[in-house]
Amino acid sequence: MTGRAAVFVGPGRPLEMREYPVPDPAPDALVVKVSLANICGSDLHFWRGNGPKIRTDIPQILGHEMVGVIHKLGREVVRDSAGQPLREGDRIAYAYFSPCGACAACLTGTPGCPNRYRNWLNVSADAPPHFHGAFGDYYYLRSRHWIFRTPEGLPDRSVSPVNCAMSEALYGLHQIGVVIGDAVVIQGAGGLGLYATAIAKEMGAGLVITLDRFADRLALAQQFGADRTLNVSETTPEERVEQVRAWTGGTGADVAAEFTGAPAAIDEGTRMLRFGGRYLWIGNINPGFRAEIDPGLMVRGSQGVRGVIVYEPWVIPRALDLIRRTQARYPFDRVISHVVPFGQINEAFALAAEGKAIRVALQM
Ligand SMILES: [Zn+2]
Ligand SMILES: [Zn+2]
């Protein structure tokens, strides 16, 4: 039996659809039948060639944000990471990375182990078990990736962004801390910013102000709980800073969170914060893109900054449970704005690269 995989063969080049034999899982691994895989911002970075440098002399399978059902279980895999029994056919959400357990990050208990992609990036799709990334009919899930059975009754399009976008937003806001009544500025209303808007509300924020350059995203942000929105394409940075200060009684926001991926957003965010405010950085994931900031303002403002990459194991089940509990309140299924058949993955990448779609998903 074989399955399709969309293979990356170099920046800017079309992904090539190839067939590979579906592997049998090792005793401590399992094979997932992928049902929905999303194009995340970092997939676009790789594809454009401005993400972390990856080899172009071997075929690779990109993609990491996905959901699927267990196709075949290794004989030692009987429970998920929360202790629930696993059976073939169960739908699961899982981490797309696995900490190595033997580096400075792992030693100190910090997520973001530099070896976390060792079974994915720079691994040839020609090498068994072939299905190393999300953009395939199957995904080979090794031990050390946290696995969780998903709640019944949620559509795939609500569950598929959990292992990247939603967990990232949830963990980031947990790390920066949101206190009851906080005024929170969310920069960017793509997938992460929309989740962050709802999560900040659920964490007790008194006022959530969400910024984006597209009016339709801001309308959606309101459905995700934004109390106020600001359109970046219709205002100057000075006007936005002044508006945030006016909405917060002149003091500025308690928390700002950057999900735009634009280095220039950082300076604006620091100026929106109150004295002692906290700034979460998530969107600018690629080193080498510089921003101008006013460090004196941050020192005199006694501001805290925290960069966050990936998350801890407890985050996925909490994210799944949040969707289950609050799906009547927030339109989680609308974060996926477009669903495209997997065979048309190059059209899907072109659509995602335009930047207007919130998230494009591939239906396997
Ligand atoms: Zn991602
Ligand atoms: Zn490590």
Q: pLDDT per residue over 252-290, tens digit each?
A: 999 999 999 999 999 999 999 999 999 999 999 988 899
On whether both 153 and 194 belong to a single domain, the answer is: no
Question: Closest-lying ligand to the alpha carbon of 43?
Answer: 1
Three-point CA angle 253, 258, 262, nearest 5°? 130
User: Would you tell me how many other CB atoms lie within 10 Å of the CB of residue 76?
Assistant: 12
On whether both 11 and 116 belong to a single domain, the answer is: yes
Handedness of CA 84, 87, 93, 95 (dihedral sign): positive
On whether both 176 and 208 belong to a single domain, the answer is: yes
**What pLDDT does 51 receive?**
74
On whether both 65 and 177 belong to a single domain, the answer is: no
- Is 322 within the bounds of a domain? no
pLDDT (tens digit, 9 = 90+) per residue, 143-198?
999 999 999 999 999 999 999 999 999 999 999 999 999 999 999 999 999 999 99
Nearest to 175 by CA among 78, 119, 257: 257
**What pLDDT does 314 receive?**
98
On whether both 281 and 343 belong to a single domain, the answer is: no
Distance 56 CA to ligand 1 centre (A): 20
On whether both 233 and 112 belong to a single domain, the answer is: no
- Is 314 within the bounds of a domain? no
Over the chain, what HEC string results? CEEEEEEECCCCCCCEEEEEECCCCCCCCEEEEEEEEEECHHHHHHHHCCCCCCCCCCCECCCCEEEEEEEEECCCCCECCCCCECCCCCEEEECCCCCCCCCHHHHCCCCCCCCCCCCCCCCCCCCCCCCCCCCECEEEECCCCCEEECCCCCCHHHHCCHHHHHHHHHHHHHHHCCCCCCEEEEECCCHHHHHHHHHHHHCCCCEEEEEECCHHHHHHHHHCCCCEEEEHHHCCHHHHHHHHHHHCCCCCEEEEEECCCCCCHHHHHHHHEEEEEEEEECCCCCCCCCCCCCHHHHHHCCCEEEECCCCCCCHHHHHHHHHHHHCCCCCHHHCCCEEEEHHHHHHHHHHHHHCCCCCEEEEC
214: domain CATH number? 3.40.50.720
Expressed as residue numbers, the domain containing 45 is 2-160+336-363
Tell me which of 263, 288, 307 is where a domain ends.
Answer: 307
Measured distance CA(84)–CA(28) in Å, rounded = 16
On whether both 9 and 156 belong to a single domain, the answer is: yes
Band of pLDDT at residue 296, cut at 50, 70 and 90? very high
pLDDT (tens digit, 9 = 90+) per residue, 80-123?
999 999 999 999 999 999 999 999 999 999 999 999 999 999 99
Distance 232 CA to ligand 1 centre (A): 24
Distance 68 CA to ligand 2 centre (A): 26
**What pLDDT does 18 receive?**
98
Q: For the whole model, what pTM was predicted?
A: 0.97
Are the C-beta atoms of residues 163 and 133 closer than 8 Å to each other?
A: no
118: domain CATH number? 3.90.180.10
Tell me which of 307, 322, 352 is where a domain ends.
Answer: 307
- Is 320 within the bounds of a domain? no
On whether both 8 and 155 belong to a single domain, the answer is: yes
Distance 102 CA to ligand 2 centre (A): 5
Q: What is the mean pLDDT of the chain?
A: 96
Distance 174 CA to ligand 2 centre (A): 22
pLDDT (tens digit, 9 = 90+) per residue, 134-154?
999 999 999 999 999 999 999
Distance 311 CA to ligand 2 centre (A): 13
Distance 98 CA to ligand 1 centre (A): 14
Are the C-beta atoms of residues 240 and 272 closer than 8 Å to each other?
A: yes
- Is 328 within the bounds of a domain? no
On whether both 155 and 190 belong to a single domain, the answer is: no
- Is 358 within the bounds of a domain? yes
pLDDT (tens digit, 9 = 90+) per residue, 23-67?
999 999 999 999 999 999 989 989 988 777 788 899 999 999 999
Distance 107 CA to ligand 2 centre (A): 7
- Is 331 within the bounds of a domain? no
Place of tokens 């700002």: 256
Total domains present in the chain: 2
On whether both 40 and 113 belong to a single domain, the answer is: yes
**What pLDDT does 54 receive?**
87
On whether both 171 and 141 belong to a single domain, the answer is: no
Tell me which of 288, 307, 326 is where a domain ends.
Answer: 307
- Is 325 within the bounds of a domain? no
Question: Closest-lying ligand to the alpha carbon of 169?
Answer: 1
Are the C-beta atoms of residues 189 and 197 closer than 8 Å to each other?
A: yes
pLDDT (tens digit, 9 = 90+) per residue, 85-97?
999 999 999 999 9
On whether both 271 and 358 belong to a single domain, the answer is: no
Q: How much of the chain, in percent, has pLDDT values that exceed 90?
A: 94
Measured distance CA(337)–CA(349) in Å, rounded = 14
- Is 255 within the bounds of a domain? yes
Distance 316 CA to ligand 1 centre (A): 14
